[in-house]
Amino acid sequence: MFLLRRSTSVVSRQLLAPGRHAWAPIQPVAWTASRQYAKRPKKAKLKRPKAKLKPLTFPIPPYISANNLANLLKMNINTLIGDLKKLGFEKAKADYIISRDYIELILEEYSYQLPSGREIVTPENVYDELKQPADPKALKDRPPVVTIMGHVDHGKTTILDYLRKSSIVSQEFGGITQHIGAFQVVTPVSKRKITFLDTPGHEAFLKMRERGANITDIVVLVVSAEDSIKPQTIEAIKHVKKSGNELIVAITKVDKLRSAKEKETVINKIMNDLLQHEIHAEDLGGNVPVIPISAKSGENMDLLEENIILVSDGMELQAEVGKNTLVEGWILESEVQKTLGNVSTVLIKKGIIRKGAVLLSGNTYCKVRNLIGENGASVAMATPAQAVEVTGWKQLPMAGDQVIQVDSEAIAKKYVGKRLHLIELEKEASTVDKMNEARALVHETPTDLGTDDTEPEPVVPEGPRSVNFIVKADFYGSLEAITESISHLGNDEVICKVVEASVGIPTINDLSLARITDSVILCFNLGNLPGDVLNNKEKIEIRQYTVIYKLIEDVTERLTENLEPIYEDKVIATADIKEIFMFDLKHKVIRIAGCKVNNGKLTRNSLVKITRGPEEKVIFDGKLATLKQGKEAAKEVTKGNECGVTFDDFEDYLAGDKILVYEKVKVPRYL
């Protein structure tokens, strides 16, 4: 059995008129096949003469054993197995299970006429047939969608704050934006609408930034005048090149530069740094506008707006808004709100969304109950390039999924069921792979196992120990970022395992799962949790966070605490054995070591080692049994004093031996 995976996925623009405009449908996706247990040579062919195509007289099953396939083809099983091995199925046996995709390849080799229109339908493309063909007559101008990208703390949110005359920065925990925000603003100078996507800068939000670059028209790359190019700046440049978006560079924090000369020097340095990454500034003969700005003082902000409008005008951005145009869009975020239930933020790609519309996304659908604009008020409709909150989802859609309008809930249910069925088939494919592997092992196991009656050695679990967590967050985007950030933490001794990840406050099921799996529940940006959750009967530990890097630090610390402890011996005192005294006690002679403490102190039950000779060979490692000064027992004997000692079950010491008093010190360990 093999699994299909998408090798490329590029969202590009379609040229419906001179210049660039409008989002185009996702281009057909290239698919590659990879087998887990049998790899077919790139150009493996059966050496058969070209034959006339034979009609296929039976339906192609999703899975079939080699033996049953031989029966369908009315051929000898050994011949089929031989041909399968020539095609690359090295482990093929009579009971080897073959998937539909491989069955079709095999039938092609045997010159069977396969039905036309055999495009592989997957959970990712099952809704493509619902999409309408492009209608140039329904095209109208739309606002540009602009993404602010760059390194953490380079001033991305401050730019939006200036444009919207709001206070986003003061509302963000830890001074960083932690989920995608979508806002449509009217620029103060040109009075034109621009939709901004504010993507987070923290490194944990890699996928969210990539998603932002792929659903936008223009990227404003923010570069701080203080720091120039940083790791996430480079990452953003890669996303821009991959997506094909137009680029504008904004050099922020220029108000902190003290003179015009210093400003010129810094700007030239940044433009040269950009050149190293093949970003050619207009001032250096390229085509990328580079604008020094200060969102705090307002310096050159009008110039940034003018450049965004200028670039968007050159792109001739349009979208379909015809009377019969069905809505398409993207899920930017999803969350559960106490008063509204399942809510998603949808960025409209085409069409006009209104209350009552039926939308399909991922594994769920909704009949739009309400549309909420960016100011929190209900709106009657939303047009292309506008972001709007949609309520009425049966379940939460996933951030990043496409949204498609259908005519009725019946159609939505039908296609959701079809997609879920395909997902189940993929799970079955994984099961079939395991069955083939198990059967291959059985075939390879020697039949003569001998008559050795020795008992088998106990099986010791191998691999690292897992520390379990359940993640709950406010948004799917945050959930995705947290899960990806902590899932890879660990080493060959201990690993982080995310047992469950979902949006919303912890439920009874979450608490039960945490008890069963011995998990800690991590809550991100969920506000004040109910008392019955925090003081739950299950006594489950619940940790709350508002900043992602603090959550990551705590998970790392928890993993570190679960590493096997390592101790080293630290010498804290030394003494020399000067003489050996014999003491007769009830018909038993006891050897007593007369010692002098050189440094530190001896105490009862001290851990000690006795060494002998210049090579300091250890002849005893144990505890002190008794400690006396004169005839009296002593609790401790300090430096420069003499004492008599005995040791647990050891008397083979001699004058001249040395006593090392030590303690076990735990060595700090790190992942």
CA distance 29 to 6: 7
Cβ–Cβ under 8 Å, residues 488 and 203: no
Q: Which of 311, 328, 312 is nearest to 320 (CA)?
A: 328
Q: Please state, as a whole number, how many other Cβ atoms lie within 10 Å of the Cβ of residue 602.
A: 25
Written as one letter, the residue type at 92 is: A
Catalogue the long-range contacts made by 106-112 (C-beta closer than 8 Å, 24 or more residues apart): 106/69, 107/56, 107/60, 109/45, 109/46, 109/48, 109/83, 110/46, 110/54, 110/73, 111/48, 111/50, 111/51, 111/52, 111/53, 111/54, 112/53, 112/54, 112/55, 112/56
Q: Are residues 240 and 266 in the same domain?
A: yes
Q: Are residues 170 and 292 in the same domain?
A: yes
Q: How confident is the model at residue 5 (pLDDT cuts 50, 70, 90)?
A: very low
- 3-state DSSP call for residue 299? strand
Q: Are residues 205 and 73 in the same domain?
A: no
Q: Report residue 153 as tokens.
A: 């703390």
* Residue 594 located in a structural domain: yes
Strand-pair partners of 346: 331, 388
Cβ–Cβ under 8 Å, residues 39 and 50: no
Q: Are residues 98 and 161 in the same domain?
A: no
Cβ–Cβ under 8 Å, residues 393 and 441: no
Mean pLDDT of 3-12: 32
- So what's the pLDDT on residue 442? 61
Q: How confident is the model at residue 429 (pLDDT cuts 50, 70, 90)?
A: low
Q: How confident is the model at residue 41 (pLDDT cuts 50, 70, 90)?
A: very low
- 3-state DSSP call for residue 621? strand
* Residue 579 located in a structural domain: yes
Specify the CATH number for the domain of residue 608. 2.40.30.10
CA distance 252 to 301: 10
How high is the mean pLDDT of the chain? Answer: 81
- So what's the pLDDT on residue 124? 81
- 3-state DSSP call for residue 288? strand
266 sits in which H/E element: helix 260-275
Mean pLDDT of 523-549: 90
What DSSP character marks residue 258? -
Last residue of a domain, one of 110, 132, 167: 110
CA distance 559 to 523: 18
Q: What angle do CA 616, 619, 622 make, to 5 degrees?
A: 115
Whether residue 7 is predicted with pLDDT greater than 50 in this model: the reply is no
For residue 197, the enclosing domain spans 143-316
Q: Which of 446, 445, 443 is nearest to 90 (CA)?
A: 443
Cβ–Cβ under 8 Å, residues 437 and 37: yes
Look at strands 31-35 and 218-224 and give their pairing: unpaired
Q: What angle do CA 77, 81, 86 make, to 5 degrees?
A: 150
- 3-state DSSP call for residue 7? coil
- So what's the pLDDT on residue 661? 94
Specify the CATH number for the domain of residue 507. 3.40.50.10050
501 sits in which H/E element: strand 494-503
User: 3-state SS of the chain: helix, strand, coil percent to 5?
Assistant: 30, 35, 40
Q: What angle do CA 294, 296, 301 make, to 5 degrees?
A: 45
- So what's the pLDDT on residue 462? 57
Q: Are residues 289 and 182 in the same domain?
A: yes
pTM of the model: 0.62
What DSSP character marks residue 670? -
Cβ–Cβ under 8 Å, residues 289 and 306: no
Cβ–Cβ under 8 Å, residues 364 and 397: yes
CA distance 626 to 494: 42
Which percentage of the chain shows pLDDT scores above 90?
35
Written as one letter, the residue type at 188 is: P
pLDDT, greater one: 473 or 209: 473
Q: Are residues 300 and 333 in the same domain?
A: no
How many domains are contained in the chain? Answer: 5
Cβ–Cβ under 8 Å, residues 27 and 243: no
- So what's the pLDDT on residue 459? 43
- So what's the pLDDT on residue 252? 92
Q: What is the 3-state secondary structure (H, E, C) of 440-497?
A: HHHHHCCCCCCCCCCCCCCCCCCCCEEEEEEEEECCHHHHHHHHHHHHCCECCCEEEE
CA distance 27 to 216: 16
Q: Are residues 594 and 628 in the same domain?
A: yes
CA distance 40 to 492: 34
Whether residue 321 is predicted with pLDDT greater than 80 in this model: the reply is yes
Residues 6+ apart with CB under 8 A from 88: 35, 38, 39, 40, 41, 44
Q: Are residues 285 and 357 in the same domain?
A: no
- So what's the pLDDT on residue 21? 39
CA distance 632 to 12: 92
Strand-pair partners of 365: 360
Whether residue 620 is predicted with pLDDT greater than 90 in this model: the reply is yes
Q: Report residue 401 as tokens.
A: 């999924």
Task: Give tens-digit pLDDT for 68-122.
Answer: 888 888 889 888 888 888 888 887 888 888 877 788 888 888 888 876 655 667 7
Q: Are residues 167 and 311 in the same domain?
A: yes
* Residue 85 located in a structural domain: yes
Cβ–Cβ under 8 Å, residues 505 and 526: yes
Considering all CA atoms of the chain, what is the largest pairwise distance in Å, rounded to the nearest integer?
116
- So what's the pLDDT on residue 460? 44
Phi, psi of 352 (to 5 degrees): -120, 125
For residue 563, CA distances in Å to 71, 211, 604 come to 56, 36, 32
Q: Which of 104, 82, 105 is nearest to 94 (CA)?
A: 82
556 sits in which H/E element: helix 548-561
Cβ–Cβ under 8 Å, residues 185 and 194: yes
Q: Report residue 59 as tokens.
A: 């339906």
Q: Are residues 553 and 573 in the same domain?
A: no
Q: Which of 284, 286, 222, 211 is nearest to 248 (CA)?
A: 222
* Residue 3 located in a structural domain: no
Last residue of a domain, one of 269, 295, 316: 316
- So what's the pLDDT on residue 272? 93
Q: Report residue 655 as tokens.
A: 């004058």
Q: Are residues 160 and 302 in the same domain?
A: yes
Specify the CATH number for the domain of residue 312. 3.40.50.300
Phi, psi of 189 (to 5 degrees): -90, -55
Mean pLDDT of 240-268: 89
Cβ–Cβ under 8 Å, residues 650 and 627: no
Whether residue 452 is predicted with pLDDT greater than 60 in this model: the reply is no
Q: What is the 3-state secondary structure (H, E, C) of 165-177?
A: CCCHHHHCHHHCC
Whether residue 26 is predicted with pLDDT greater than 70 in this model: the reply is no
CA distance 524 to 349: 30
* Residue 226 located in a structural domain: yes
* Residue 289 located in a structural domain: yes
Whether residue 152 is predicted with pLDDT greater than 70 in this model: the reply is yes
Q: Which of 138, 101, 135, 136 is nearest to 120 (CA)?
A: 101
Q: How confident is the model at residue 123 (pLDDT cuts 50, 70, 90)?
A: confident
Question: Following DSSP, what letter does each residue of 79-111 receive, concatenated?
Answer: HHHHHHHHTT-TT--TT-EEEHHHHHHHHHHTT
Last residue of a domain, one of 562, 592, 619: 562
Q: Report residue 276 as tokens.
A: 């190293």
Mean pLDDT of 574-601: 88
Q: Are residues 327 and 374 in the same domain?
A: yes
* Residue 1 located in a structural domain: no
CA distance 292 to 299: 8
Whether residue 8 is predicted with pLDDT greater than 60 in this model: the reply is no
CA distance 576 to 587: 29
* Residue 460 located in a structural domain: no
